[in-house]
Chain A
């Protein structure tokens, strides 16, 4: 049986890297005595995969992990069992059974919601100025940035990867493309804006918070975004 587990990551544990979060859940599953299916071979490992690595220092309320389990209690029971062995800052918030032939979270992911804010004392300009400047900047038909790789530099337009945005109380919300086909790191938007406006931005200025990850169930090029957890069903 395949299940999709959604969890949050906030507070001090934002400094735990992606690989260590995977190790954390391998041990947590054993503490909670979750009957995870193991791979074959001399060194069997738990069959699990994660939707998308979260950057070190970023927080999230929508981390997704897919697992194969031999059996499962009700979603509520499993959530309680997991939360009984979690650390501060990591909470399991949903446990859904996936249809047999569903794609894994990583492959299914198409878009993401983020909330960005400036760490205290790191804002490059007063909030109102930022909102109006950013509003104008993002409303352009094209936002070209220089992408550097090891070998070359090339200019790309990131505007098509930005689906929507808004501002409120010191927070910049954006919905962007995410996944293997197209992916936008949301902090690039602020970096590009500051660069164009000649504002100095510390590499530690932006606190990234991930709010939701989506699959795209649309057809004929029309997006229909569905939160990754909605692909599965609660176990009653």
Chain B
């Protein structure tokens, strides 16, 4: 039996001890001797187990690493505050779930950065592991600390904490990196010598090999390579043939219920739509699909090996997948009779999707979801959201005729050029949807009122989007705008059928600072962590006061990063990253947003964004 890192007393004192014991179905335990393991990799999602275990990317990389000869990859998550406290008091080092051995003794610690509010948890993981927080203080006694995931598209706020950032999709360069590491250790290279060589591998960014300068007004000036190996630009890595890269047949099945307790089938990467606020829609270009055959095979294998009762499709916009109808029918025919639920997020609501949904869901309990993102057509043109009021009302009408009576609508507030009319438009659109219900469904067939739920978050400009120059607003202003919507909701004819909720305001502003911050922000993150900030993505733990004090202590003004509309000429700390999509294209999008005009999607007409040079995907569709 495996010996656990934590004593029975500790495990019985904390919430959900199963978070820390490993040993789940399909988790991989290797024998160091027999399997000739010379590379130990810790793959970390810096949040609680239930969140981290729901993430597909880690499952893909875990599977990929464990297929490699001589490599053993294990998982690490953030200990919840109850255990965090005990580990600090008793000086227990953070451990990998599989081996239950200290992370510090392993070769690599890879941390995925999925959202900005996990940044203090990154420091927690390093700290509890006994790894120096700053890259410059580390020696060969410490693992190489790697960062990956969407937040690395502006890695600068975390630059001092990481040895290497991996830019782009993880399936391509790890073999090379591990080979280099093996040679470096064998030949007795210094850590710096290893990092300099690593910088030569495409897609890898080694922040310590650069100096950063700033202009007098505090804006970013340039990044200066300190060594000849450090490239001026780092091009993101991208997989062109998604049918010939590792994808798990046997994902790990958690013992406890996690957020996504199901098989996840990634049907494609990227999105043809080009919404101007959406970072994922830009950084994952070009759109690449997996083949129907590949997906059928994987769905069958994963359901068999996990025993999950549910399978979900994953992509940014499932309706745009070419073979969606065939895939969904296959899943229904093959698995519905075996009691497998099929969940279909991010579907455009139309006759097809409603037909499919009626086969796989309980209509009385489920709802249909639209993401208009803005309340007026003008505002939707600004953000290039090609969904019209007519689309929404027609989709709702069909849904109501089909028996649904719940509709969810997602919006953003604080978008560039937003006026009171746009805010009130949110309430008016929700009201129109409710009106469609009362027009469509005869009184005797109604089961009470319809329920129209509108939710709004606050727009946060992200790097590599058409709106990366936009300003944000103070939290009081966000609250004011949300109240305008709320009051307008109450003033609608169908207000009794409408519900409105909005996201918290202060977290949004901080997220905005991290999203477009520079290297100096690292000091603030460190200061806030020292003050006790942790699990900032969890509203019960978020403490805005600690952050405000930390900004003051570091002499930095958060407003500098968020409250200015940035001029086109301003250099950005993330400009050295090449995502394929050119800055010229993004500038054009920023200008078109102000006209405002819609930009056609990738399948309608190529806009020459730059992603075509990766040589595949939607850019070459219909060509041989």
Measuring CB to CB, which residues of chain A are less than 8 angstroms from any residue of chain B?
Answer: 10-13, 15-17, 20, 23-24, 26-31, 38, 42-44, 56-57, 85, 87-89, 119, 202, 204, 207
Contacts and interface: CB of A to CB of B under 8 A. Distances in A.
A31 B306 contact: yes
Given A30-B338, A31-B305, 17 more contacts: A11-B23, A12-B2, A12-B23, A15-B12, A17-B18, A17-B256, A20-B18, A26-B307, A27-B306, A27-B308, A27-B309, A30-B307, A31-B304, A44-B339, A87-B25, A89-B23, A202-B9
Contact of A15 (B11, B305, B339): B11
A16 B255 contact: yes
Question: 8 closest pairs, A vs B, by CB?
Answer: A27-B307, A30-B307, A31-B307, A11-B1, A15-B17, A204-B9, A12-B21, A42-B362
A204 B6 CA distance: 14
Contacts of A38: 339
B253 interface: yes
B257 A20 contact: yes
Contacts of B18: 15-17, 20
B235 interface: no
B1 A89 contact: yes
Kindly name the residue among B4, B17, B257, B305 whose own CB sees the greatest number of chain A CB atoms within 10 A. B17
B525 to A, nearest CB: 33
Interface residues of B, number: 29
Interface string B1-45: 110100011011100011001111100000000000000000000
A85 B305 CA distance: 9
A21 to B, nearest CB: 8
Contacts of A17: 18, 256
Contact of A29 (B4, B303, B306, B307): B307
A204 B8 CA distance: 8
Interface string B406-445: 0000000000000000000000000000000000000000
Contacts of A42: 362
Nearest to B256: A20
A20 B25 CA distance: 13
B362 A43 contact: yes
Nearest to A207: B8
A10 B4 CA distance: 13
B398 to A, nearest CB: 21
B23 A88 contact: yes
Nearest to B9: A204
B252 to A, nearest CB: 11
Contact of B25 (A15, A85, A202): A85
A88 B255 contact: no
Contact of B2 (A26, A43, A57, A88): A88
Contacts of B309: 26-27, 30
Contacts of B13: 204
A10 B8 CA distance: 13
Contacts of B8: 57, 119, 204, 207
A85 B2 contact: no
Nearest to B29: A88
A40 B362 CA distance: 14
A87 B24 contact: yes
A55 to B, nearest CB: 10
A202 B7 CA distance: 14
Nearest to B12: A57
Contacts of A28: 25, 307
A68 B23 CA distance: 28
A30 B253 CA distance: 13
Contact of A88 (B1, B9, B304): B1
Nearest to A45: B339
12 contacts: A12-B22, A13-B21, A13-B23, A23-B255, A27-B25, A27-B307, A28-B25, A30-B307, A30-B338, A31-B306, A204-B12, A207-B8
B11 A57 contact: yes
B307 A85 contact: yes
A26 B306 CA distance: 11
B257 A23 contact: yes
Contacts of A87: 23-25
Contacts of A202: 9
Interface in B236-258: 253, 255-257
A15 B21 contact: yes
A204 to B, nearest CB: 4
Contact of B12 (A30, A56, A85, A88): A56
B2 A11 contact: yes
A20 B255 contact: yes
A182 to B, nearest CB: 27
A57 B17 CA distance: 10
A119 B18 CA distance: 20
B17 A56 contact: yes
Contacts of B253: 27
Kindly name the residue among B17, B307, B338 whose own CB sees the greatest number of chain A CB atoms within 10 A. B307
A20 B1 CA distance: 20
Nearest to B25: A87
Contacts of A43: 362
Contacts of A26: 307, 309
B362 A24 contact: no
Nearest to B11: A15
Nearest to A12: B21
Given A27-B309, A28-B307, A204-B9, A12 B1 contact: yes
Contacts of B1: 10-12, 88-89
Contacts of A13: 21, 23, 255
A15 B17 CA distance: 6
Contacts of A15: 11-12, 17-18, 21
Kindly name the residue among B4, B12, B306 whose own CB sees the greatest number of chain A CB atoms within 10 A. B12
